[in-house]
Amino acid sequence: MRTIPNSRARPSSALLTLSTAALLTLAPLAAQADSDKHRHRHGREYKEQYWDGACKVERKWKRNGDYQEKRKCRDDYRHGYVQVPQPVAVMPAPAIVINPPPIIIRP
């Protein structure tokens, strides 16, 4: 029988140890680079502004849990903001009601 020589050279254990140590050293730095730009302000004051139709809405949350919303509508928007109720599916009453016979126990 013939033995086939390995065509790949195995990396040395020193190189593997060095790369593992570098990875473990640099991993916390990558986690620290998060700039907290994802707009989640847990436990902090937060302010949000956006347009809803012709009205500018400004929402504010405070640290103690208070919430405030202000709406400023343009002059040409005469009717103001009307909140339309959400449609609700009405379920029909059941067609047949079956009552089981009462159980009577006699001595």
What pLDDT does 48 receive?
92
* Residue spans per domain, the chain: 42-76
| Measured distance CA(74)–CA(93) in Å, rounded | 46
- Angstrom distance (rounded) from CA 102 to CA 1: 89
Q: Which residues pair with 55 in a beta bridge?
A: 52, 73
| pLDDT tens-digit map of 23-57 | 888 888 777 766 666 666 566 788 999 998 888 99
Over residues 54-90, the pLDDT tens digits come to: 889 999 988 888 889 999 888 776 666 677 888 989 9
Question: What pLDDT, on a 0 to 100 scale, did the predictor assign at position 33?
Answer: 64
Closest CA to 63 of 47, 86, 83: 47
Question: Which residues neighbour 11 within 8 Å (Cβ) at sequence distance 6 or greater?
Answer: none
More confident of the two residues 79 and 14: 14
Positive or negative: CA dihedral 77, 82, 56, 86:
negative
Q: How many CB atoms lie within 10 A of CB 83?
A: 5
Q: What is the pLDDT of residues 1-13, one digit of tens each?
A: 566 666 555 557 8
User: Which pTM does this prediction carry?
Assistant: 0.34
Q: Residue ranges of the alpha helices (H) in the chain?
A: 13-32
**Predicted pLDDT at 95:** 82
